Structure 1
């Protein structure tokens, strides 16, 4: 393992982060479990950053990939592609967006980059609204709309970005307000911001901020924002890269918690739909999607193999009601973690919905973020046989818990018990 780590450091950039003091190599997985090169088994509560959505080595997906690879692996979008059209049809119907068109990419970063291209071309302006504490990807344009300093390595930008209040409910200047007052204050802030700027192309927002530590506004905030945006013709892009496909339990898409004024103009997706295969994409109304007046293709977006995986994975998700499972098992897990957190002084808050749960750690008796404690819990959890993630605006002091949506009640209890021991160890 040390040899592989040394080889990694010799050829991979320093800024490609690795978890754990002694990084692990995952060699195989099954269901909700994975194994490392030393033979240790772990319960996976992070799913390759919310990407292994259904299960590791899901037979339906591996079979679809194998069969398609045996026929043809690649063709590009220059040729008709049956699996791509079939998956696009299903996603368009599920999106809630009228007269929807779907463009496939290879990642969430590329999906958000495409959405920015469409919005700025459609509106004829390069001004973008984004949420504070947000994360939208790794590309130059995606970094330029990322409101989380830990993931924004440059201030240079191809667009002008203005940041809006509202993504974090329990910190910031409006934290002490009621939900209704919070929404009112954030809407007033948005109105004021728009009164001091030129035309804006779009607001892009995660319904639940992923890298930001699984924070979210009160339900209805983006519906209230939508009223303000529509009066000015400004588009709403819902970044569903982490919240889509039923992970939040209550809804299939995160935007549906803010649905009073209908669906967004665009939504972006990735991660879970491929269950590990590289799929991203944008759904938009036809008039927006078709606004580009130059040629464009995708070499790898819509690959027959990844589309076959997406179709099999989506079918499994719907037929086995994994959204309902996320709601039921996630509800039990979050209450169990809240009970644990109440007895651990370092836990400031346990939050989330469905199987998208954040545990925020602080120095006891304060509101001061404690990234060292989060790192220590991450290590202790791994030693106990549990893989989790971390994130947050305050120096990655939030533990991120996002297991595959097929998680059982017994596995939820197993993971909670390991995490309880890890939290108490600090």
Structure 2
């Protein structure tokens, strides 16, 4: 059974719609004032008047005033299967009634079983798995392993990249919007390849683009003193706006890396678990070079639980010589939920659903884009789709347009994300149980939001081609 055409969860509850009244403004405004008084100023929130989400079912969520939204962002690609998925809820509740926490100082049956499944799925031979609480911590661990294994703090990363918010992961973030400091324990060297349609190689064919980026990598390595530890790369850049190089680019990089003994870390925090539809892992679009040395994961596997981890071949994972534990990584409750979530995903072929419904959604978005003066490009694959916005009639990135569309989409009952170095890309990543009807509904809401944003910016709301 696949979820196409059916819903997970009853979707019961208030049906008041997304339009907000005075009482909503008052309730949300009061909570926002408390938020601003006690939480950091740099803690980003969406919307001019932020909202509180209180519960969800399937692909829908409700805010504190009962307004229902179709969720096309899933808590930043974290609600992978569905909100309130009964199988996950039952597994968490059952485990909560037994024991919540033990730490890695004790054996955990759930952690071993989950690690066994992930090791098999990773494609990495003789794999070892270490659980963390987040993608940031997973990437930190991967960088620790690579630098210890190679005896070097030199790291290659892609321009426009994002790998987390810790001190170390910020040090390999090539996106200035998310890099608050230039200080780092690492020496990071940035290479081309993360953005296909902008930059000095945008005019080239895919083959020429790959050749140019590979030559850039070769040239860079020829000028580096010392030995580079690893390349860390997102197969599709998440915060960067769902951008990527051509399929096979990382395979071409890998051939260069192998000649120098440099490790390949694939950051699958957002691309993993079948979200791209065509592949279970993002690295498999570059599979000519074989599996990576290290793979990091998080977000979707927990379906909202704080779960992340690292997979590496045994000699890399076991290279650390000091003692180490994880107090919260792979806890009984998170691994129980993740096991149920992963089982549901595999049993219901959600990767196939991402491919089928994602393909439909992309075609609908491309039709919408053809009629909007704001849209420069629709990109991505499966249920990981980006829409880049520009000032009407130009190629200039427009963060203003993205902000307007984000607000308008919410008014039309649709939650989406945004990203890109300039903040001008819409990020669309619904739970993988998305139905055909919901894909159509979301595309219609986005069409209306784009039209309203274009009108607000003083341009025509549409120029034909809006039919879905």
TM-score by length of 2: 0.91
Q: Specify which of 85, 100, 104 is matched with residue 131 of structure 2.
A: 104
Matched, 1:128 2:155: yes
Secondary structure of residue in 2 paired with 1:125: coil
**Aligned counterpart, 2:99:** 72
Query: Does residue 320 in structure 1 map to residue 348 in structure 2?
Result: yes
Gaps of 5+ in 2: 1-27, 454-468
Partner of 1:363: 391
Runs of at least 5 residues in structure 1 that lack an aligned partner in the other structure: none
Cα distance, 1:79 vs. partner?
0.2
- 2:68 matches 1:41: yes
Aligned length: 425
- Name the structure 2 match of 1:250: 278
Map of 2:38 onto structure 1: 11
Separation (CA, whole Å) in 1 of partners of 2:357 and 2:199: 31
2:251 is matched with 223
Indicate which of 235, 238, 253 corresponds to 1:207: 235
Cα displacement (A) at 1:367:
1.2
> 2: distance between equivalents of 1:88 and 1:170?
38
Does 2:387 correspond to 1:349?
no
Supply the distance in 2 between the matched residues of 1:261 and 1:34 (Cα, whole angstroms): 41
- Provide the C-alpha distance between the structure 2 equivalents of 1:22 and 1:226, rounded to a whole number of angstroms: 46
CA distance in 1, matches of 2:330, 2:452: 46
Q: Does residue 235 of the first structure (1) align with residue 258 of the second (2)?
A: no
Shift of 1:366: 1.4
Partners of 2:205 and 2:215 in 1: CA distance: 15
Deviation at residue 162 of structure 1 after TM alignment: 0.3
2:209 is paired with a residue of what secondary structure?
A: helix
Structure 1 residue 403 displacement after superposition? 0.1
Alignment of 1:302-341 (within 5 A): 302-341=330-369
Please state how far the C-alpha of 1:210 moved relative to its aligned partner: 0.2
Q: TM-score, normalised by structure 1?
A: 0.99
TM-superposition CA deviations, 1:168-210 (whole Å, max 9, x none) = 0000000000000000000000000000002100000000000
Q: Could you tell me which residue of structure 1 aligns to residue 289 of structure 2? A: 261
User: Does the alignment pair 1:83 with 2:71?
Assistant: no
Out of 185, 189, 192, the residue aligned to residue 162 of structure 1 is: 189
Q: Are 1:410 and 2:429 matched, yes or no? A: no
Tell me how far apart the structure 2 counterparts of residues 39 and 30 of structure 1 sit (CA, whole Å): 13
Once residues 33 and 261 of structure 1 are traced to their aligned partners in structure 2, the CA distance between those partners, rounded to angstroms, is 40
CA distance in 2, matches of 1:99, 1:327: 30
**CA deviation profile, 1:315-339 (whole Å, cap 9, x unmatched):** 0000000000000000000011001
SS in 2 for 1:71: coil
Residue of structure 1 equivalent to 2:426: 399
- Cα distance between partner residues in 1 of 2:105 and 2:302: 22
Alignment pair present for 1:280 and 2:335: no
1:32 and 1:111 map into 2 onto residues whose CA distance is 27
Query: Hey, what's the Cα distance between the residues in 2 that align with 1:218 and 1:91?
Result: 27
Question: Which structure's CA Rg is the greater one?
Answer: 2
Deviation at 1:364, TM superposition (A): 1.5
Q: Which of 139, 143, 156 does residue 166 from structure 2 map onto?
A: 139
Determine the C-alpha separation between the residues in 1 that align with 2:242 and 2:185.
27
Question: How far is 1:2 from its partner?
Answer: 1.6
Instruction: Supply the distance in 2 between the matched residues of 1:250 and 1:285 (Cα, whole angstroms).
Output: 25
1:383-422 per-residue CA deviation (whole Å, 9 max, x = no partner) reads 00000000001x2100000000000000000000000000
Give the 3-state SS of the residue equivalent to 2:439 in structure 1. Answer: helix
RMSD: 0.4
